[in-house]
Amino acid sequence: MLVRLQLAWFLLASCCIEESKGRNVLLIIADDAGFETEVYNNSAIHTPHLRTLAQRSLVFNNAFTSVSSCSPSRSTILTGLPQHQNGMYGLHQGVHHFNSFDGVQSLPLLLGQANIHTGIIGKKHVGPGYVYPFDFAYTEENNSVLQVGRNITRIKLLVRKFFQTHKEEAFGRRQKAEEGKSGHRKEEERPFFLYVAFHDPHRCGHSQPQYGVFCEKFGNGEMGMGRIPDWTPQYYTPDQVKVPPFVPDTPTARADLAAQYTTVSRLDQGVGLVLQELRDAGYENDTLIIYSSDNGIPFPNGRTNLYHSGTAEPMMVSSPEHRERWADISQAYVSLLDITPTILDWFSVPYPSYSLPGSPAAPVHLTGRSLLPALVTEPSSWQTVYASQSLHEVTMYYPTRSVHQGVYRLLHNLHYRMPFPIDQDVYVSPTFQDLLNRTRLSQPTYWFKSLQQYYYRERWELYDTRTDPLEMKNLASDSSYSAVLESLRQSLQKWQWETGDPWVCGPDFVLEDKLEPQCRPLYNGL
């Protein structure tokens, strides 16, 4: 009986592989991943599968998230709308409890309405469910996030299960067509959108410390750690790592990075398994593959910051229909806000007309763009990206807006008189604890700024990233840059109005939008 079932599945899979001519999408998002890969010239770490993907992709050197926080970023990926517009102001889980607005027309919602098979495996971290519906879902909502987000064998099998259910559905449609019960053979196999959201290399010292600071011990075969069959752990010593310039170069931070590298290697092997399943299912040559991450790495000046170190992301886009730029590098400025328009463009699905609470009188439109033209020729005018941060954890209220245009980055810290907040898992991290202790004991921190400078920021921060890549010299008060400052301020405020930002008037004005939207003065001395 078992042999017959296996033969039946082989025949079903074979017939479907031969006739798979549609357009599909595989979106792979890492969790808190940065540039710790060979793709971005970090020779200290071994990431052969990401390197192989890069050979079939256009690699973007200037990709950015529009918000440096997990749930808000994932909401922007799946809606194309900044967090202040879609309503996911902070984290979704637990006491934070943020959700997108009920009326948001998300990517999985629109694709489902267009008869595209949708699936998600791994970390979802957004809500409500009816705004982000998936036909096939194995996430932290119905499984352990460790199993669906870090156990790469489990992820591999779930990807295989998705393709099996997809083919079984197509087989059923084919049977109905042959029996004359379906009008058109082109409806036999519908396209698919599969979203694989790894939980690596997120920290876990706050939530599952028994597995190490980055869950680098989870599944490594040691006593009590379990065993992930498809994972061959790669270990690194502190002296082997490449310390990012915004991270303190201390023995503690190096050991922290070494643990991160181990989980990056698990992510890399997981990506390899997912791509092998795609090939085995026969979809490699008709599937658009997008790889990126949600926000900056979980180190000081990284995640939750709108500096370059908190917003710059890896991004690769592989199209079987656009091979002319495979293994090429793009310097165009692109955003995670571009992912939804890119996928809608790939499927030729139009974006609907509707409104949201931020701009009830104006229809919502996507401010991102499709990346497909960049796969053909290098864009000459893509040099502006925007970002918007309100909260991370519910207690971490520090609204910031920013624009990065050409060599200049402008940040507007609305609550600049408050100290910048620190999230829980970064706080308990070895790197930050070491930084705290060194500061408290007046010892050298080997960091490029002091904790006082990190906590307390100017209202406006303007940096020339070409001459000042670490963004240390604030040019906002330099009169020789007044024209640049004013131009960027106007550009940023225009984007805020365009995207219905409730914070557009803060902190010295209040938004009055009941009649005609306008900023009314508070005369609060700011």
Q: Which residues are catalytic?
A: 70
User: 3-class SS at 153?
Assistant: helix
Residues 6+ positions from 477 with CB-CB distance below 8 Å: 458
The answer to whether 260 touches 39, Cβ cutoff 8 Å, is no
Instruction: Return all residues near 141 (Cβ < 8 A) that are at least 6 apart.
Output: 124, 129
Separation of alpha carbons 77 and 79, rounded Å? 6
Alpha carbon distances (Å) from 490 to 43, 195, 263, 304, 413: 41, 36, 42, 24, 16
Residues in a beta bridge with 385? 404
DSSP codes of every residue in 494-505: HHHHHTT-TTTT
Distances (CA, A) of 401 to 296, 416, 417, 475: 16, 12, 16, 17
Please give the C-alpha separations between residue 430 and each of 202, 435, 436, 448, 507, in angstroms, as whole numbers: 14, 9, 10, 18, 35
Stated as kind and residue range, the H or E segment containing 26 is: strand 24-30
- Rg of the chain over Cα atoms, rounded to whole angstroms, equals 23
Give dist(CA 262, CA 49) in Å, integer.
15
* Cβ contact 122:199 at 8 Å: yes
Are the C-beta atoms of 301 and 450 separated by less than 8 Å?
no
| Spatial contact of 346 and 22, defined as CB atoms under 8 Å apart | no
Contact 301, 435 (CB under 8 A): no
Give the C-alpha distances (Å, rounded to integers) separating 247 from 339, 441, 463, 466: 29, 19, 19, 20
DSSP symbol at 460? E
Closest CA to 170 of 12, 25, 8: 12
Coil, helix or strand at residue 226 = coil
Question: In angstroms, rounded to a whole number, what is the distance separating the alpha carbons of residues 300 and 248?
Answer: 8
Secondary structure class of 176 (helix, strand, coil): helix
CA distance 252 to 254: 5
Cβ 283 vs Cβ 20: under 8 Å: yes
Measured at the CA of 374, the angle between CA 244 and CA 81, to 5 degrees, comes to 75
Look up tokens 């919502």; give the residue. 364
Question: Other CB atoms closer than 10 Å to residue 237's CB: what's the count?
Answer: 10
Question: Using an 8 Å Cβ cutoff, are 79 and 106 in contact?
Answer: yes
